[in-house]
Amino acid sequence: MNEQNQELERVIGWHLEITRRCALECPACPRTFDAEKVGPLNIDLKLDLIKRFFAKDKLPLINYIFLNGNLGDPIYHPDFHEIAEHFFAAQHLAISTNGMIKKSFWERVIRTWPENSLLILSIDGLKETNHLYRVNSKWKMIEDLFEVIARTKRKCKIEWKYILFEHNHKDVEKAHELSKKLGIDSFRLQKTRPLNSRMNKNGFLKEFNGTYFDAEKNKKPLKELAPFCKTLDMHYINAEGTYFPCCWWPSHYKDEKQEFWEDTNIANLDLDGAYSHFKKFTQCLNDFDKAPEVCKNFCTKLEENTEELLTPNSQLNRKFLGNSKKEWEIKKD
Ligand code: SF4
Ligand code: SF4
Protein backbone atom coordinates (compact mmCIF):
# COMPACT_ATOMS: atom_id res chain seq x y z
CA MET A 1 0.00 0.00 0.00
CA ASN A 2 1.42 3.41 -0.88
CA GLU A 3 1.94 6.19 1.66
CA GLN A 4 -1.16 8.13 0.65
CA ASN A 5 -3.39 5.10 1.04
CA GLN A 6 -1.96 4.43 4.50
CA GLU A 7 -3.04 7.95 5.50
CA LEU A 8 -6.51 7.45 4.07
CA GLU A 9 -6.95 4.14 5.76
CA ARG A 10 -6.49 5.84 9.11
CA VAL A 11 -9.72 7.83 8.70
CA ILE A 12 -11.68 4.79 9.66
CA GLY A 13 -15.28 5.87 10.07
CA TRP A 14 -17.59 8.54 8.73
CA HIS A 15 -20.96 9.64 10.00
CA LEU A 16 -23.06 11.38 7.33
CA GLU A 17 -26.15 13.52 7.68
CA ILE A 18 -27.27 12.97 4.10
CA THR A 19 -30.50 14.91 4.59
CA ARG A 20 -32.28 17.17 7.06
CA ARG A 21 -35.68 15.88 6.05
CA CYS A 22 -37.83 13.91 8.45
CA ALA A 23 -41.51 13.04 8.69
CA LEU A 24 -41.47 12.82 12.48
CA GLU A 25 -41.31 15.38 15.27
CA CYS A 26 -39.59 13.68 18.18
CA PRO A 27 -39.71 16.26 21.01
CA ALA A 28 -36.07 15.84 22.14
CA CYS A 29 -34.67 16.14 18.60
CA PRO A 30 -33.03 19.53 17.88
CA ARG A 31 -34.88 19.44 14.55
CA THR A 32 -38.09 19.82 16.62
CA PHE A 33 -37.17 21.85 19.69
CA ASP A 34 -34.66 24.13 17.94
CA ALA A 35 -36.43 24.31 14.55
CA GLU A 36 -36.17 28.08 14.22
CA LYS A 37 -32.43 28.05 15.00
CA VAL A 38 -31.13 25.21 12.87
CA GLY A 39 -31.90 26.72 9.46
CA PRO A 40 -33.55 25.06 6.45
CA LEU A 41 -34.82 21.57 7.17
CA ASN A 42 -35.31 20.36 3.60
CA ILE A 43 -31.71 20.24 2.38
CA ASP A 44 -29.83 17.17 1.13
CA LEU A 45 -26.19 16.32 0.71
CA LYS A 46 -25.85 16.08 -3.06
CA LEU A 47 -25.23 12.68 -4.62
CA ASP A 48 -22.47 13.93 -6.95
CA LEU A 49 -20.63 15.57 -4.03
CA ILE A 50 -20.81 12.35 -2.04
CA LYS A 51 -19.51 10.34 -4.98
CA ARG A 52 -16.65 12.78 -5.58
CA PHE A 53 -15.49 12.97 -1.95
CA PHE A 54 -15.95 9.24 -1.35
CA ALA A 55 -14.60 8.06 -4.70
CA LYS A 56 -15.36 4.43 -5.38
CA ASP A 57 -11.71 3.36 -5.47
CA LYS A 58 -11.13 4.82 -1.96
CA LEU A 59 -14.10 3.10 -0.32
CA PRO A 60 -12.44 -0.26 0.38
CA LEU A 61 -10.06 1.68 2.68
CA ILE A 62 -12.88 3.05 4.83
CA ASN A 63 -13.87 0.89 7.76
CA TYR A 64 -17.44 2.11 8.03
CA ILE A 65 -19.97 4.61 6.79
CA PHE A 66 -22.83 5.50 9.13
CA LEU A 67 -25.90 7.21 7.61
CA ASN A 68 -27.69 9.04 10.40
CA GLY A 69 -27.22 12.76 11.16
CA ASN A 70 -28.26 15.22 13.84
CA LEU A 71 -31.19 16.80 12.03
CA GLY A 72 -32.76 14.34 9.63
CA ASP A 73 -33.50 10.73 8.83
CA PRO A 74 -31.48 9.34 5.90
CA ILE A 75 -34.39 7.42 4.37
CA TYR A 76 -35.93 10.71 3.20
CA HIS A 77 -33.04 11.61 0.88
CA PRO A 78 -34.48 11.54 -2.68
CA ASP A 79 -31.40 9.58 -3.89
CA PHE A 80 -31.20 7.31 -0.85
CA HIS A 81 -30.75 4.02 -2.71
CA GLU A 82 -28.04 5.36 -5.04
CA ILE A 83 -26.11 6.73 -2.07
CA ALA A 84 -26.43 3.59 0.04
CA GLU A 85 -25.53 1.31 -2.84
CA HIS A 86 -22.47 3.43 -3.62
CA PHE A 87 -21.27 2.67 -0.08
CA PHE A 88 -21.58 -1.09 -0.51
CA ALA A 89 -17.92 -0.85 -1.52
CA ALA A 90 -16.89 0.37 1.97
CA GLN A 91 -15.91 -2.24 4.55
CA HIS A 92 -19.14 -1.70 6.55
CA LEU A 93 -22.31 0.33 6.12
CA ALA A 94 -24.89 1.23 8.78
CA ILE A 95 -28.03 3.32 8.94
CA SER A 96 -30.13 4.52 11.85
CA THR A 97 -33.76 5.29 10.99
CA ASN A 98 -37.28 5.67 12.33
CA GLY A 99 -38.42 3.19 9.65
CA MET A 100 -41.41 5.24 8.48
CA ILE A 101 -41.42 4.79 4.74
CA LYS A 102 -43.26 2.64 2.21
CA LYS A 103 -42.83 -1.10 1.94
CA SER A 104 -41.20 -1.10 -1.52
CA PHE A 105 -38.35 1.03 -0.09
CA TRP A 106 -37.64 -1.59 2.58
CA GLU A 107 -38.00 -4.46 0.14
CA ARG A 108 -35.10 -3.05 -1.90
CA VAL A 109 -32.95 -2.42 1.20
CA ILE A 110 -33.52 -5.72 2.95
CA ARG A 111 -33.17 -7.78 -0.20
CA THR A 112 -29.99 -6.09 -1.44
CA TRP A 113 -27.91 -4.77 1.46
CA PRO A 114 -24.77 -6.90 1.90
CA GLU A 115 -23.72 -8.92 4.93
CA ASN A 116 -21.35 -6.23 6.17
CA SER A 117 -24.27 -3.82 6.68
CA LEU A 118 -26.49 -2.98 9.64
CA LEU A 119 -29.96 -1.39 9.85
CA ILE A 120 -30.63 0.23 13.22
CA LEU A 121 -34.37 0.71 13.69
CA SER A 122 -35.33 3.38 16.22
CA ILE A 123 -38.60 2.04 17.57
CA ASP A 124 -39.36 3.21 21.09
CA GLY A 125 -42.30 1.08 22.09
CA LEU A 126 -45.13 -0.91 20.55
CA LYS A 127 -48.47 -0.04 18.95
CA GLU A 128 -49.74 1.97 21.94
CA THR A 129 -46.48 3.69 22.83
CA ASN A 130 -44.03 4.17 19.92
CA HIS A 131 -45.77 7.32 18.62
CA LEU A 132 -45.68 8.99 22.05
CA TYR A 133 -42.04 9.91 21.49
CA ARG A 134 -41.82 9.19 17.73
CA VAL A 135 -44.53 11.78 17.06
CA ASN A 136 -46.33 11.25 13.69
CA SER A 137 -45.16 7.67 13.34
CA LYS A 138 -47.76 5.15 12.23
CA TRP A 139 -47.64 1.66 13.70
CA LYS A 140 -49.10 0.23 10.48
CA MET A 141 -45.91 1.25 8.63
CA ILE A 142 -43.76 -0.39 11.31
CA GLU A 143 -45.87 -3.53 10.91
CA ASP A 144 -45.30 -3.40 7.14
CA LEU A 145 -41.56 -3.17 7.76
CA PHE A 146 -41.71 -6.12 10.17
CA GLU A 147 -43.60 -8.09 7.54
CA VAL A 148 -40.82 -7.43 5.00
CA ILE A 149 -38.19 -8.45 7.56
CA ALA A 150 -40.03 -11.66 8.40
CA ARG A 151 -40.47 -12.84 4.82
CA THR A 152 -37.29 -11.63 3.07
CA LYS A 153 -34.12 -13.63 2.80
CA ARG A 154 -31.45 -11.17 3.81
CA LYS A 155 -27.74 -10.82 4.43
CA CYS A 156 -27.72 -7.51 6.34
CA LYS A 157 -27.97 -7.40 10.14
CA ILE A 158 -30.87 -5.64 11.86
CA GLU A 159 -30.92 -4.05 15.28
CA TRP A 160 -33.95 -2.73 17.18
CA LYS A 161 -32.91 0.31 19.22
CA TYR A 162 -35.32 1.28 21.97
CA ILE A 163 -35.07 4.55 23.89
CA LEU A 164 -36.48 4.06 27.36
CA PHE A 165 -38.98 6.43 28.90
CA GLU A 166 -41.35 6.15 31.80
CA HIS A 167 -44.22 5.66 29.30
CA ASN A 168 -42.68 2.74 27.39
CA HIS A 169 -40.54 0.73 29.80
CA LYS A 170 -43.38 -1.70 30.46
CA ASP A 171 -43.26 -2.77 26.80
CA VAL A 172 -39.58 -3.72 26.78
CA GLU A 173 -40.03 -7.45 27.37
CA LYS A 174 -42.75 -7.76 24.73
CA ALA A 175 -40.74 -5.75 22.19
CA HIS A 176 -37.68 -7.87 22.89
CA GLU A 177 -39.73 -11.05 22.35
CA LEU A 178 -41.16 -9.64 19.12
CA SER A 179 -37.68 -8.80 17.86
CA LYS A 180 -36.60 -12.42 18.44
CA LYS A 181 -39.70 -13.75 16.70
CA LEU A 182 -38.94 -11.58 13.66
CA GLY A 183 -35.35 -12.79 13.55
CA ILE A 184 -33.95 -9.32 14.34
CA ASP A 185 -30.29 -9.80 15.24
CA SER A 186 -30.00 -7.53 18.29
CA PHE A 187 -32.14 -5.50 20.66
CA ARG A 188 -30.53 -2.50 22.33
CA LEU A 189 -31.88 -0.27 25.06
CA GLN A 190 -30.77 3.33 25.06
CA LYS A 191 -31.02 5.84 27.85
CA THR A 192 -32.65 9.08 26.76
CA ARG A 193 -30.61 12.26 26.85
CA PRO A 194 -31.35 14.48 29.85
CA LEU A 195 -34.60 16.30 29.05
CA ASN A 196 -35.02 20.02 29.57
CA SER A 197 -38.19 22.11 29.36
CA ARG A 198 -37.62 23.00 25.69
CA MET A 199 -37.45 19.34 24.73
CA ASN A 200 -40.41 18.46 26.85
CA LYS A 201 -42.79 21.39 26.72
CA ASN A 202 -45.84 19.63 28.11
CA GLY A 203 -43.85 17.77 30.74
CA PHE A 204 -45.14 14.47 29.43
CA LEU A 205 -41.83 12.71 28.76
CA LYS A 206 -39.99 11.25 31.71
CA GLU A 207 -36.59 9.63 31.57
CA PHE A 208 -36.48 6.08 32.79
CA ASN A 209 -33.17 4.85 34.09
CA GLY A 210 -34.41 1.90 36.16
CA THR A 211 -32.28 -1.13 36.75
CA TYR A 212 -31.13 -1.32 33.16
CA PHE A 213 -28.44 1.28 33.59
CA ASP A 214 -27.10 0.41 37.05
CA ALA A 215 -23.65 -0.23 35.62
CA GLU A 216 -23.39 3.44 34.61
CA LYS A 217 -24.15 4.91 38.01
CA ASN A 218 -21.53 6.30 40.41
CA LYS A 219 -18.74 6.69 37.91
CA LYS A 220 -16.78 9.88 38.43
CA PRO A 221 -15.29 11.98 35.63
CA LEU A 222 -11.49 12.21 35.42
CA LYS A 223 -9.56 15.25 34.23
CA GLU A 224 -8.71 13.42 31.07
CA LEU A 225 -10.19 13.17 27.59
CA ALA A 226 -10.90 10.02 25.62
CA PRO A 227 -11.63 11.63 22.26
CA PHE A 228 -13.08 9.11 19.86
CA CYS A 229 -12.36 11.48 16.98
CA LYS A 230 -8.66 11.04 17.68
CA THR A 231 -8.86 7.42 16.68
CA LEU A 232 -10.40 8.78 13.47
CA ASP A 233 -13.72 7.32 14.44
CA MET A 234 -17.07 8.87 13.39
CA HIS A 235 -15.92 12.03 11.69
CA TYR A 236 -19.02 13.97 10.63
CA ILE A 237 -20.33 15.60 7.47
CA ASN A 238 -23.62 17.49 7.68
CA ALA A 239 -26.25 17.94 4.97
CA GLU A 240 -24.57 21.19 3.86
CA GLY A 241 -21.33 19.32 3.24
CA THR A 242 -19.53 20.86 6.22
CA TYR A 243 -16.92 18.61 7.77
CA PHE A 244 -16.53 18.29 11.58
CA PRO A 245 -14.44 16.04 13.83
CA CYS A 246 -17.63 14.55 15.30
CA CYS A 247 -21.40 15.05 15.33
CA TRP A 248 -21.35 16.83 18.71
CA TRP A 249 -19.34 19.69 17.34
CA PRO A 250 -21.77 21.48 14.95
CA SER A 251 -24.64 21.84 17.37
CA HIS A 252 -22.78 22.94 20.48
CA TYR A 253 -20.69 25.86 21.54
CA LYS A 254 -21.05 27.83 18.36
CA ASP A 255 -19.12 30.77 19.83
CA GLU A 256 -16.12 28.77 20.84
CA LYS A 257 -15.87 26.62 17.75
CA GLN A 258 -14.38 29.44 15.67
CA GLU A 259 -11.32 29.38 17.90
CA PHE A 260 -10.58 25.67 17.53
CA TRP A 261 -12.17 24.45 14.33
CA GLU A 262 -12.31 26.25 11.01
CA ASP A 263 -15.42 25.19 9.11
CA THR A 264 -14.60 23.57 5.83
CA ASN A 265 -16.77 21.99 3.16
CA ILE A 266 -16.16 18.70 1.40
CA ALA A 267 -16.78 20.53 -1.88
CA ASN A 268 -13.29 21.99 -1.33
CA LEU A 269 -11.59 18.91 0.09
CA ASP A 270 -10.62 15.38 -0.67
CA LEU A 271 -10.23 12.63 1.95
CA ASP A 272 -6.59 13.43 2.41
CA GLY A 273 -7.31 17.15 2.82
CA ALA A 274 -9.91 16.36 5.50
CA TYR A 275 -7.36 14.33 7.42
CA SER A 276 -4.79 17.16 7.32
CA HIS A 277 -7.45 19.62 8.49
CA PHE A 278 -8.28 17.34 11.41
CA LYS A 279 -4.65 16.78 12.41
CA LYS A 280 -4.23 20.52 13.09
CA PHE A 281 -7.29 20.49 15.35
CA THR A 282 -6.05 17.64 17.55
CA GLN A 283 -3.47 19.96 19.20
CA CYS A 284 -6.26 21.42 21.33
CA LEU A 285 -7.11 18.00 22.79
CA ASN A 286 -3.75 17.48 24.47
CA ASP A 287 -4.34 19.69 27.51
CA PHE A 288 -7.61 18.94 29.35
CA ASP A 289 -7.90 22.41 30.93
CA LYS A 290 -7.54 24.19 27.61
CA ALA A 291 -9.66 21.78 25.59
CA PRO A 292 -12.94 23.00 24.03
CA GLU A 293 -15.93 22.77 26.36
CA VAL A 294 -17.76 20.54 23.90
CA CYS A 295 -14.96 17.98 24.19
CA LYS A 296 -14.93 18.14 27.98
CA ASN A 297 -18.69 17.61 27.99
CA PHE A 298 -18.79 14.64 25.70
CA CYS A 299 -15.41 12.97 25.81
CA THR A 300 -14.26 13.17 29.42
CA LYS A 301 -13.14 9.77 30.62
CA LEU A 302 -14.93 8.18 33.57
CA GLU A 303 -13.02 6.52 36.39
CA GLU A 304 -12.85 2.73 36.69
CA ASN A 305 -13.47 2.08 33.06
CA THR A 306 -11.10 3.46 30.49
CA GLU A 307 -13.53 2.83 27.66
CA GLU A 308 -16.50 4.73 29.07
CA LEU A 309 -16.97 8.37 28.14
CA LEU A 310 -19.03 10.97 29.99
CA THR A 311 -21.67 10.79 27.28
CA PRO A 312 -21.13 7.59 25.34
CA ASN A 313 -21.39 7.99 21.62
CA SER A 314 -24.41 5.78 21.45
CA GLN A 315 -25.22 6.39 17.84
CA LEU A 316 -23.23 3.48 16.55
CA ASN A 317 -22.45 0.54 18.76
CA ARG A 318 -19.02 -0.23 17.59
CA LYS A 319 -19.50 -3.82 16.73
CA PHE A 320 -17.68 -3.12 13.54
CA LEU A 321 -14.44 -2.50 15.37
CA GLY A 322 -14.85 -5.39 17.76
CA ASN A 323 -14.79 -3.14 20.82
CA SER A 324 -18.48 -2.54 21.30
CA LYS A 325 -20.03 -2.09 24.68
CA LYS A 326 -22.10 -5.02 25.82
CA GLU A 327 -25.74 -4.79 24.93
CA TRP A 328 -27.79 -3.76 27.92
CA GLU A 329 -28.97 -6.75 29.77
CA ILE A 330 -32.72 -7.14 29.65
CA LYS A 331 -33.91 -7.39 33.24
CA LYS A 332 -37.34 -7.29 34.74
CA ASP A 333 -38.16 -4.00 36.42
S1 SF4 B 1 -36.85 10.52 13.62
FE2 SF4 B 1 -34.78 11.25 14.06
S3 SF4 B 1 -34.48 13.08 12.77
FE4 SF4 B 1 -36.68 12.62 12.82
S5 SF4 B 1 -37.48 13.93 14.44
FE6 SF4 B 1 -37.02 11.92 15.34
S7 SF4 B 1 -34.92 12.05 16.15
FE8 SF4 B 1 -35.24 13.79 14.73
S1 SF4 C 1 -16.34 16.11 21.40
FE2 SF4 C 1 -14.28 16.84 20.89
S3 SF4 C 1 -12.91 15.23 21.59
FE4 SF4 C 1 -14.96 14.36 21.50
S5 SF4 C 1 -15.06 13.40 19.50
FE6 SF4 C 1 -15.90 15.46 19.33
S7 SF4 C 1 -14.22 16.77 18.67
FE8 SF4 C 1 -13.36 14.85 19.43
Residue 276 identity (one-letter amino acid): S
Q: What percent of the chain has pLDDT over 90?
A: 55
pLDDT for 176 equals 94
Pairing of β 221-225 and β 300-302: antiparallel
Task: Give pTM, 2 decimals.
Answer: 0.89
Cα gap 222→214, rounded to integer Å: 20
Task: Kindly state the average pLDDT of the residues 285-312.
Answer: 77
Q: Residue 212's pLDDT band (boundaries 50, 70, 90)? A: low
Residue 270 three-state SS: coil
| Domains parsed from the chain with CATH numbers | 3-218+229-284 (3.20.20.70)
249 lines ligand 2 (CB under 6 A): yes
Top-confidence residue, 33 or 325: 33
**283 C-beta neighbours (distance < 10 Å), count:** 10
Query: How far, rounded to the nearest angstrom, does the alpha carbon of residue 92 sit from its chain's CA centroid?
Result: 14
Residue nearest to atom 5 of ligand 2 (CA): 229
120 membership: H or E segment, kind and range: strand 117-122
pLDDT 10s digits, 224-283: 888 888 878 789 999 999 999 999 888 765 655 567 888 899 999 999 899 889 988 998
CA 122 to ligand 1: nearest atom: 1
29 lines ligand 1 (CB under 6 A): yes
Residue nearest to atom 3 of ligand 2 (CA): 227
Ligand positioned closest to the Cα atom of 68: 1
